[in-house]
């Protein structure tokens, strides 16, 4: 234990009472019973829904959600090595209140000195419809995602007070570490999915591996807060029983970077090739309109090159994550889906040529 519970089974009525009182969710009431169940599909952290019983019925929220370190040792080790848990806790503590994006309200955000043990306690946004990477989504859901991207990017666009936060930036040696690990990740990716991924897509993955020195650490263009893993599995739709349209979850990969990484990632890796091809123009126009309406005038011509390069982020994320998080059946399908969508966009629009150029 690190002074706070680090597994759902460790959450006691007394601790829950204290956190809800500090968060202003209950006054003098007390929680007398806690029951939990696993939720979500994340592979880097484990999430749970807590059902609460009070000494006085109805004294506070009936359910809350919590997030904890992954039970799987490899996933937990990868998260710790790249500071993913500390980033997510830091996001909810320091950054979320300054953006327009809809995220769950946070009741507790604690992390131990080892940056491994942590807990996040949230409002429960259910009943809601979880985004499903493997099933794609409707055009309406994709539009909702794009509007949320603008709600992240516009308030932080070239805003040094946010993008300059020290812990958002890679520590010294981080980029070299990723480059060194990426070659092995591509080997694992090829061995695991070589007979499943289309040959032209695998060839593009190999090309990216050969050009990894040009990709990792690349900078340029505008800077904002970026989600870094902006896809359907990290979104909830029709939250609070349809009272609100969407919320964005899972901020372990939050960073300061080119905001079009999120857009290229979402349209390529995030929503699937069929939907992207049908609605690419509409969604890019919507992003420009939303950003312009939020005080950041943008045009299609201004964002195009960065958007096309953003597809590469989806490919590299799929390859790297497949190698260094817990392997599951759904995870395999997920990483294949991500690679297919990102590679399809990259091949159609010449992403690798832009990278090399």
Q: Tens digit of pLDDT for each residue in 296-347?
A: 999 999 999 999 999 999 999 999 999 988 889 999 999 999 999 999 999 9
Give the pLDDT confidence score for residue 45 in this predicted structure: 82
Average pLDDT, the chain: 94
Q: Are residues 250 and 320 in the same domain?
A: yes
Residue 2 located in a structural domain: no
Tens digit of each residue's pLDDT (9 = 90 or more) over 111-120: 998 889 999 9
Are residues 148 and 90 part of one domain? no
The per-residue pLDDT for 65 is 96
Number of domains comprising the chain: 2
pLDDT of residue 230: 98
Q: How far apart are CA 159 and CA 114, in angstroms?
A: 30
Q: Tell me, yes or no, whether 147 and 97 share the same domain.
A: no
Residues 90 and 133 in one domain: no
CA 215 to chain CA mean position, Å: 20
Q: Are residues 77 and 153 in the same domain?
A: no
Give the three-class secondary structure for 1.
Answer: coil
Give the tokens for residue 208: 């990216």
Residue 26 sits in the same domain as residue 118: yes
Q: Are residues 139 and 99 in the same domain?
A: no
**Can you give the residue range of the structural domain that contains 211?**
129-356
What's the rounded Cα separation, in Å, for the pair 27 and 33? 17
- Whether pLDDT at 224 is above 70: yes
Please list the helix, strand and coil fractions of the chain in percent, rounded to the nearest 5, in that order. 55, 15, 30
Average pLDDT over residues 180-187: 96
Distance between CA atoms of residues 90 and 86, nearest Å: 6
**pLDDT computed for residue 71 by the predictor:** 85
Output phi, psi for 142, to 5 deg: -60, -40
Q: Do 111 and 134 reside in the same domain of the chain? A: no
For 119-174, the pLDDT digits (tens) are 999 999 999 999 999 999 999 999 999 999 999 999 999 999 999 999 998 888 88
347 and 222 in a common domain: yes
Amino acid 42: pLDDT: 67
Instruction: Give the Cα separation of 174 and 164 in Å (integer).
Output: 17
- Here the tokens at position 187 are 């080997």
Whether the pLDDT of residue 273 is over 60: the answer is: yes
Residue 104 shares a structural domain with residue 62? yes
Looking at residue 219, its pLDDT comes to 87
Say if residue 1's pLDDT is above 50: no
Is the pLDDT score of 2 beyond 60?
A: no
Q: Which helix (H) or strand (E) holds 143?
A: helix 139-156
- Confidence (pLDDT) at 233: 93
CATH number of the domain within which 118 lies: 3.30.200.20
Q: Is 52 part of a structural domain of the chain? A: yes
d(CA 212, CA 218) in angstroms, rounded, equals 10
Based on the fold, state whether residues 60 and 182 are members of the same structural domain. Answer: no
């Amino acid at each position: 234990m690190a002074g706070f519970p680090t597994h759902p089974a460790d959450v006691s009525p007394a601790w829950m009472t204290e956190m809800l009182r500090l968060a202003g969710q209950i006054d003098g009431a007390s929680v007398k019973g806690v029951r939990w169940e696993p939720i979500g599909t994340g592979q880097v952290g484990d999430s749970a829904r807590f059902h609460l019983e009070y000494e006085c019925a109805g004294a506070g929220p009936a359910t809350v959600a919590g997030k904890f370190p992954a039970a799987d040792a490899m996933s937990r080790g990868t998260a710790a090595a790249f500071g993913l848990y500390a980033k997510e806790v830091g996001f909810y503590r320091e950054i979320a209140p300054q953006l327009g994006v809809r995220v769950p309200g946070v009741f507790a955000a604690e992390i131990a000195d080892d940056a491994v043990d942590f807990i996040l306690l949230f409002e429960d946004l259910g009943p809601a419809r979880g985004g499903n990477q493997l099933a794609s989504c409707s055009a309406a859901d994709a539009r909702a995602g794009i509007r949320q991207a603008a709600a992240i990017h516009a308030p932080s666009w070239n805003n040094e007070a946010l993008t300059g936060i020290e812990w958002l930036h890679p520590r010294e040696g981080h980029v070299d570490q990723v480059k060194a690990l990426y070659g092995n990740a591509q080997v694992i990716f090829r061995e695991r999915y070589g007979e499943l991924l289309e040959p032209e897509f695998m060839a593009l993955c190999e090309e990216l591996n050969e050009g990894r020195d040009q990709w990792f650490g690349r900078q340029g263009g505008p800077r904002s807060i970026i989600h870094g893993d902006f896809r359907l599995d990290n979104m909830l739709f029709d939250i609070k029983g349809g009272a609100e349209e969407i919320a964005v979850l899972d901020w372990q990969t939050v960073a300061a970077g080119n905001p079009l990484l999120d857009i290229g990632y979402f349209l390529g890796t995030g929503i699937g090739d069929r939907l992207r091809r049908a609605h690419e123009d509409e969604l890019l126009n919507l992003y420009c309109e939303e950003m312009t309406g939020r005080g950041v005038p943008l045009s299609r011509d201004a964002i195009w090159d960065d958007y096309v390069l953003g597809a590469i982020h989806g490919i590299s994320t799929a390859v790297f994550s497949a190698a260094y998080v817990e392997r599951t059946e759904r995870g395999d399908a997920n990483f294949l889906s991500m690679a297919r969508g990102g590679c399809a966009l990259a091949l159609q629009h010449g992403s690798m040529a832009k990278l090399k150029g």
